[in-house]
Chain A
Amino acid sequence: MKPPPFSYHAPASLPHALSLLAETGSDGKVLAGGQSLIPLLNMRLAAPAHLVDINGITELDRVDTDATGVRVGALARHSRVEADPAAAAAVPLLGQGLRLVAHPVIRNRGTTVGSLAHADPSAEMTAALALLGGSVVAASTDGERTIDVADFFVGPMESSLRTGELLVSAHFPRPPAGSGTAFAELARRHGDYAMCGVAALVTLDQDLRVCAARAAYLSVAPVPLVLDLTEPLAGRPPGTADFAAAGRMTRGRLEPEEDIHATAEYRAHLAEVLTARALREAAQAAIRTSLDPAESAREGAPT
């Protein structure tokens, strides 16, 4: 298994990369971490005529955290995002999801933004971005545009990125005050793509009662689907909220497909169980952050 031939370009600046992508058009493909692209090349499932290697554009290797959330640059490796204490404090969901992405060795090379551009509906970061209602920035020789996550994922391995565009960053918004998040998934083997994964966000009001709950799903829909599950939980303190009822709400609203790893029915079952589990964990995290806002920093920070 060897990659097919391609012309290799290694721009040292973003403008150079964008002009190369404009020149090569639909024959050009961006190489960042390559942990999904190179297997596809090795297995000859993809054969782009040109590869534009952005690994030399160091200005894209950044993780910036501010009051609005975490902005991840196109060259920030998963492991770097995972280890960033400020990012973990602002958006604990990043660390909660990243530790489920393949294995540490893959995370040392693979990039978070590259995973979003790849738009695999089994990828944890697509669900994280969808759950938080984040956005991405695409750049081309025509300038930059911001794309809301709801408009970004179009289908399996398909995004609304246009020919000649480079995904330069992704913004993961800080969840509202009183919120907690959690990630739950099940895979056949440790480090594999999950048969079903759930990212959950629960927000409590000042009386510590649930005022909002939603979940994003991976591996059960063509795009990272988000469901609002507030209704059965609203007004309840997490201790008496019926998370199982929220799990049952997924029935009929998700239509997972069958493959060699799991039947559609098994995936639907997993979605129900993992939804309840992730919501419960997210609610517990929300209590901790509500009672002690400093806790959120500790929770997200590497331990």
Chain B
Amino acid sequence: MSEELHEIRLRVNGAVHTATVPARRLLSDCLRHDLGLTGTHVGCEHGVCGACTVRIDGRPMRSCLMFAVTAQAHEITTVEGLAAADGTLHPVQRAFRECHGLQCGFCTPGFLNVAAAYLDDNPDPTEEQAREAIGGNLCRCTGYQNIVRAVLRAAELRRADGMPVPEQAAPEDARTPGDR
């Protein structure tokens, strides 16, 4: 049986890619197998572990719970898109390295994307907020303590880098689910 194929165009990390995929191709598999962007890791494939988290129009989402055909209209950012073009690591990447926020590294791409997106909206989180921010991602090595530390350190590095704060980032607007 031959399955119907779709010609798709995906915008990933600023570059346009094309691929020919069946409609059931998960975005996570498309990124890895069709586009060769293996930085996105696949853990549970049902939305629990968070390893496959990428950013869709800036917002973190599970790429295993999205079809590649549906992702066409959006700007996708994967872990490969975090570092600057000259190779300078993103503040969250530097912070994870500094704070030993990873061991085997399998879950790390998801954590990095979640943390980067969170800090864009909430540049100065408390420890509790940082913990809540990564609450949807699983790590089986670190015990999370160093990941929490890395998120807080990344916030410091971000500020030191003078990264822009969001338009609505006045402290009273810094929302997290855990602080209400």
Contact = CB atoms under 8 A, between A and B. Distances in A.
B66 A34 contact: yes
Nearest to B177: A99
A103 B136 contact: yes
B65 A43 contact: no
A39 B49 CA distance: 12
Nearest to A88: B180
Given A105-B62, A303-B179, A8 B23 contact: yes
A8 B29 contact: no
Contacts of A35: 47, 62, 65
A108 B23 contact: no
Contacts of B40: none
B73 interface: yes
A95 interface: yes
A240 B6 CA distance: 65
Given A56-B73, A105-B53, A105-B114, A34 B65 contact: yes
A6 B47 CA distance: 20
A58 to B, nearest CB: 10
A191 interface: yes
B61 interface: yes
Interface string A108-140: 110000000000000000000000000000000
Interface in A1-54: 1-8, 10, 31, 34-35, 38-39, 41-43, 51, 53
B173 interface: yes
Interface in B22-75: 22-24, 26, 29, 45-47, 50, 53, 56, 59-62, 64-67, 69-70, 73
Contacts of B172: 303
B17 interface: no
A57 interface: no
Contact of B70 (A1, A43, A53, A83): A53
Contacts of B136: 102-106, 191
Contact of A38 (B65, B69, B135): B65
A296 B132 CA distance: 25
B61 A302 contact: no
Chain B interface helix/strand/loop/mixed: mixed
Contacts of A31: 67, 70
Interface residues of B, number: 37
A34 B62 CA distance: 10
A38 to B, nearest CB: 5
Contact of A39 (B22, B47, B179): B47
Interface string B136-180: 100000000000000000000000000000000000110111011
Contact of B135 (A7, A108, A191): A191
A190 interface: yes
A159 interface: no
A61 to B, nearest CB: 12
A31 B177 CA distance: 26
A56 B72 CA distance: 11
Contact of A106 (B62, B69, B73): B62
Interface centre among A105, A109, A302 (most CB of B within 10 A): A105
A55 interface: yes
A4 B53 CA distance: 22
Interface in A47-76: 51, 53, 55-56
Contacts of A190: 135
A82 B59 CA distance: 15
B6 A8 contact: yes
Given A7-B4, A103-B135, 6 more contacts: A10-B69, A38-B67, A39-B47, A42-B64, A190-B135, A302-B180
14 contacts: A2-B45, A5-B1, A6-B23, A7-B4, A7-B23, A8-B67, A38-B47, A42-B46, A83-B175, A103-B50, A104-B133, A108-B61, A190-B135, A303-B179
